[in-house]
Amino acid sequence: MTTTAFTAAGAIAAPIQIRTICCIGAGYVGGPTMAVIADRCPDIQVLVVDLSVERIASWNDSDLTRLPVYEPGLDGVVARCRGRNLHFSTEVDAAIAAADMVFIAVNTPTKTRGIGAGQASDLRWVEACARQVARSAQGHTIVVEKSTLPVRTAEAVKAILDAAQGPQANSTPPRTFSVLSNPEFLAEGTAISDLEAPDRVLIGGEDPAAIAALAQVYGQWVNPEKILRTNLWSSELSKLTANAFLAQRISSINSIASLCEATEADVEEVARAIGADSRIGSKFLKAGPGFGGSCFQKDILNLVYLCRHFGLSEVADYWESVVTLNRWQQHRIAALVVQKLFGTVIGKRIAILGFAFKADTNDTRESPAISICLDLLEEGAKLAIHDPKVDPAQIARDLGQPSAADAWIPCDDVTEALDGADAAVILTEWQAYRELDWDVMAPLMRHPAWIFDGRGMMDFMALTSTNLHLWRVGCSNA
């Protein structure tokens, strides 16, 4: 693929031919994104590299149910491309050397120590990637920030790459670099459809030829009108801002849900009424146990840190309140379980239905279930945890303790989880939980028994013959 671009002065920039793409990071962003690029651009060789031997082995497993990332439709995309123009490897240096374009899609967790601990992003892996690209790249390489990054991170990446520019041995072309920002806007559970039919593709940069080259890659299946071009800094900030606005809506509707419970209003009716306003819209107005996932909390806290760094304390306080209310919602639900079960859950079996942060993913990062389960364990409850996609080993890591009969146990099916339970707490909106026959399930539980519906999935009328008590988020009729 060859792209010709015009410089700001109108002169024709040198054409850039994209034949090989390398992506550093085979996780939730890198794997699906590169799979779709390979699927839609069969003339480009796509190499996804990662230092984790186990993760790469999972991507190469002949059993597609063992892919390290669960996303509806991902297995089909990988099946079409893997071995043709989609490859997974631990040979990072060789992949970088062969690439015309390198995507950086590594994790950027929140710092746990030092300056900015608890808010700022830990950029050690991004810096390590930049240094490895600087060391291994050949000729001209376009480096694309795909990870979520603080504003002006590209400056650090460019500084590292600029130090490596210049002539190389053996008369090879001089080593040069262009840096672009291309943040992802994927929703877990719909990542493949988000990639195949995106609302927009955002490319930030200063090099017209490099921007045109990346736009041409996406242009093989994305309408050019949806490919937006900005400067580097606007692109980096747009990702943080998008997630902050979405998370804000979730905290806002959850705050109203608590008011609905106190005033005999119904949050679903309120959400429908305000969502009909074209200025507001209906998306992200579903009350629940709070937001989770790898991005929302991390990105808001990053935004908070940046605002404080630039002296905008009032702005920082505003965005920090979104995270504060989200945590409050999770603690509130756990406290309600204790309250409804006669003020104590010591020794009581509580079925946890759903541990992933949302349906159609196996991702548990910042899942509301973690906080709620930890609160209930602290109160002395015995948890029976079921999730159709989350590995029990991951649950053990998230809870910080192995499964044990006196604390928590994983369950293979809902029936096992509910057997002898005093309550069921629905924390992930899996379709299978919507389809449960509670006339069959209710006799398994110890009565008086409760269902705590943290996702607003249950119908009161469906429980009339079961003698089950129901609390549903945002509804006063519980």
45: phi then psi, degrees, rounded to nearest 5: -85, 130
Catalytic residue among 146, 239, 298, 358: 239
**399 three-class SS:** helix
Rounded Cα distance between 383 and 380, Å, is 9
Q: Report how far residue 210's alpha carbon sits from residue 464's, in angstroms, rounded to the nearest whole number.
A: 63
Tell me how far apart the 2 most distant CA atoms of the chain are, in Å: 82
Question: Which tokens go with 244?
Answer: 């902050």
Q: Where are the alpha helices (DSSP H) in 176-312?
A: 191-196, 208-218, 232-263, 267-275, 296-309
Q: Identify the three-state secondary structure at position 441.
A: helix
- Among residues 22, 23, 41, 295, the one annotated as catalytic is 295
Active site residue 295: yes
429 catalytic? Reply is no
Q: Would you list the DSSP string of 65-110?
A: GG-SS--TTHHHHHHHHBTTTEEEES-HHHHHHH-SEEEE----PB
CA 263/CA 241 separation, integer angstroms: 33
User: Within 10 A of 352 (CB to CB), how many other CB atoms are there?
Assistant: 28
358 part of the active site: no
Could you say which DSSP state residue 176 is in? Answer: E
How many whole angstroms separate alpha carbon 16 and alpha carbon 57? Answer: 33
What is the token pair recorded at 142? 């376009």
Catalytic residue among 22, 81, 111, 184: 184
Cα torsion through 223, 228, 232, 237, rounded to 10: -110
Nearest to 15 by CA among 26, 6, 28, 4: 4
DSSP string for residues in 15-47:
PEE--EEEEE--STTHHHHHHHHHHH-TTSEEE
Q: Which residue shows structure tokens 């490897």?
A: 89
Which residues does the annotation mark as catalytic? 184, 239, 295
